[in-house]
Amino acid sequence: MTEKQKTFAFVVYPGLTALDLVGPLQVLSGLAEADPAFRVVVVGETLDPIDTDSPLRIAPSHTFDAVPDPYAILVPGGAALTLQALANRTLIGYLARAAESAELVTSVCTGSLLLGEAGLLNGREATTHWMFRDLLRAFGATPVAKRWVEDGPVITAAGVSAGIDLALHLVERLAGAETARAVQFGIEYDPQPPLGPLDWANAPHEAMAPLREHILRDGLAGHPELVAKLLART
């Protein structure tokens, strides 16, 4: 690393959703290739590979201690194990400390809940996966139903694939539209889902309610204080 490089720290922990991490990591790696003023690293509590919520395992490139003051952090989300990570004081402590000097604090999906637990969402607008958006109120945030929400230095993205949109927005903000467009072409990001765009007015809240309850029950098992905190305002 050169003295003037700006470091994006992608934060990993057991059970995260791989695409939450890998999508924006690929985009911002494109920025680092185009502009040596930036670099990307993947930080974890140790350098040991961690499990994700798929068969893929991820090995951090650096420890938390090795990257104490990144220019930006990005926190991916997940399901039950992300809720479990709310009680991981090492992880939450790193987010709180890194955010003190970071110019950008970002998240994808339920990674925003971890930002909230680190005290970084109070009084801010934020978003997350639609199934858990209401839980943001527990951290003093105002939930917003948007693809990504920017409030000061904090930018939160909605579920999973929204992380790619967030990352392209960051590239445009930091390096301009021409570079962002080049990165978009590089990854051929031109979403045309086979079932068409989502109609958010018809999101399957009722059908997904049992899954949400299962995730909450599993993720918060053994942590009644977190249950009380998260569900107090829902």
- Could you tell me which residues are beta bridge partners of residue 149? 156
Q: Is 228 marked active-site?
A: no
Cβ-in-10-Å burial (0-12, 13-18, 19+) of 83 comes to buried
Identified catalytic residue from 109, 114, 138, 174: 109
- CA 88-93-96 angle, to 5 degrees, is 130
- Residues with catalytic annotation? 109
